[in-house]
Amino acid sequence: MVSIGTPGSTSAKRVMLLGSGELGKEVAIELQRLGCEVIAVDRYPHAPAMQVAHKAHVINMLDEKALYDLIRAESPDLVVPEIEAIATEALLTVEKEGTTVVPTARAANLTMNRRGIRELVASELGVRTSPYRFVESLDELVEAVNEVGLPCVVKPVMSSSGKGQSTIKAEADIANAWNYALEGTRGGADSLIVEGFVNFDYEITLLTVRHAGGVSFCEPIGHRQEAGDYRESWQPQPITESVLAECQSIATGVSDALGGFGLFGMEFFIQGDTVYFSEVSPRPHDTGLVTLISQNLSEFQLHVRAILGLPIPLIQQYGPSASCPILVRGESAAVEFSDIELALLEPHTDIRLFGKPEVRGSRRMGVVVTRRDSVEDARAAALQLSDRVQVGPPSDVSRV
Ligand code: AMP
């Protein structure tokens, strides 16, 4: 039996979020709705989830000692990673000492680095992926490109949102790809993965929930990426029964291998009837923002129910839906959004502004979600309504 106490008291169910971005903010809101005490952590103050948490801490989550000390000091019931860039050794230690890490410390550890998850899925589980090599020098990269073949995709083993990722089309691109990848790597690691380019027909995120009652799936989410960052997502992605069954079977195997309770974003490339596993995030996924409008339980509600050990009797898809991020470019700590009513004038349309304290460069600051009669209409509306959102002051920021 699950029991939830009173926030701020000795009976509180205390949940620490490691990472306080837009996805963490929605998780925090769902935890608040169920009366949990939320402690939000990130490397900068006033991060989105901090604005809806009981308590916030600013630390470098890549600093193992600082992270360990904070978890010990707060002693939460659950530690919930929202990002990959975490000193996961601290999570392995606190889990051994009795703290629950979502979904497991090993899952966080394996997925923070592309090498860990690739080796588990491709070598141990024997699942089809793009051909790949790991390299640590320019010479090794040249050799790996020869083995994997052109075109190929180069990514730092530790990076997200497309940082440091590029496609090599000809040998002349190799040196640039190496330099670009080193600039985009995080956490100081200089190792890269080289993947054969999969000329897929479409790619999906299959949201997979491991919960007290078993494993459940959401309808597949299609998405379009630019430079490794998501630009639109939609649900359901049309798919054949056999391809979906294969994706679900792989997702079950991978989530079983990672263990624990929670939602997993499983990413696949589909080429004809062939399924390639791409990667997994053991947490809500950015392309899954579409579930804010498309389902009875969003990916954030599903995650929270699963990690608290609560039931998930039904996941109902309400109809063709889409999401389109509001990307902003420039420099400002006081961005203003206008013309949001153009989106909200339309039924079955919603908007989230994440409340991020500043933009330096380009940043995802909000999202528009839509539900329509067809996926095409939902996508067109989300793109158009997101595009119409204006940002200012115009001398400092513009829309991407
Ligand atoms: P990732 O960070 O690995 O999810 O990569 C971001 C996006 O880049 C993916 O969603 C794909 O659109 C594209 N991509 C990554 N790897 C490959 C590949 N091996 N072949 C083709 N496209 C890829």
pLDDT, residue 185, reads 73
CA of 228 to the centre of ligand 1 (A): 6
Q: Is 173 a catalytic residue?
A: no
Q: Is 136 a catalytic residue?
A: no
Active-site residue among 106, 118, 210, 364?
364
CA of 231 to the centre of ligand 1 (A): 13
pLDDT, residue 186, reads 66
pLDDT, residue 184, reads 78
Q: Is 267 a catalytic residue?
A: yes
Euclidean distance between CA atoms 334 and 360, whole angstroms: 12
Euclidean distance between CA atoms 239 and 356, whole angstroms: 36
Phi then psi dihedrals of residue 222, to 5 deg? -90, 155
pLDDT, residue 153, reads 96
pLDDT one-digit tens code per residue, 209-260 = 999 999 999 999 999 999 778 999 999 999 999 999 999 999 999 999 999 9
Burial class (CB in 10 A: 0-12, 13-18, 19+), 180: middle
Structure tokens belonging to residue 34: 């169920």
pLDDT, residue 398, reads 97
| Closest ligand 1 atom to 230 CA | 10
| Closest ligand 1 atom to 132 CA | 19
Lowest mean pLDDT among 177-181, 354-358, 379-383: 177-181
Residues with CB under 6 A from ligand 1: 130, 153, 155, 162, 195, 197-198, 203, 225, 228, 267, 278-279
Nearest CA to ligand 1 atom 16: 153
- Look up residue 49 and give its DSSP letter: G
Q: Is 287 a catalytic residue?
A: yes
Taking the CA atoms of residue 1, residue 36, residue 256 and residue 323 in that order, the dihedral angle to the nearest 10 degrees is 130
Nearest CA to ligand 1 atom 1: 228
Residue 189: which pLDDT band, with cuts at 50, 70 and 90?
Answer: low
CA of 287 to the centre of ligand 1 (A): 14
CA of 175 to the centre of ligand 1 (A): 20
∠ CA 163-101-315 to the nearest 5 degrees?
Answer: 80
pLDDT, residue 355, reads 98
pLDDT, residue 183, reads 84
Euclidean distance between CA atoms 103 and 210, whole angstroms: 9
β pairing state of 262-271 and 336-338: unpaired
Mean pLDDT value of segment 347-362: 97
Q: 112, 168, 269, 279: which to mutate for ligand 1, most atoms within 8 A of CB? A: 269
Active-site residue among 37, 84, 267, 299?
267
β pairing state of 100-101 and 14-18: unpaired
β pairing state of 166-168 and 152-156: antiparallel
pLDDT, residue 188, reads 55
Residue 5: which pLDDT band, with cuts at 50, 70 and 90?
Answer: very high
Of 36, 22, 27, 19, the closest CA to residue 81 belongs to: 19
Q: Is 286 a catalytic residue?
A: yes
Question: Where does residue 348 fall: left (phi above 0), alpha (psi -120 to 50 degrees), or beta otherwise?
Answer: left
Mean pLDDT value of segment 36-55: 98
Question: What rounded mean pLDDT belongs to the chain?
Answer: 96
DSSP string, 262-312: EEEEEEEEEETTEEEEEEEESS--GGGGGHHHHBSS-HHHHHHHHHHT---
| Closest ligand 1 atom to 160 CA | 2
Active-site residue among 104, 129, 130, 160?
160
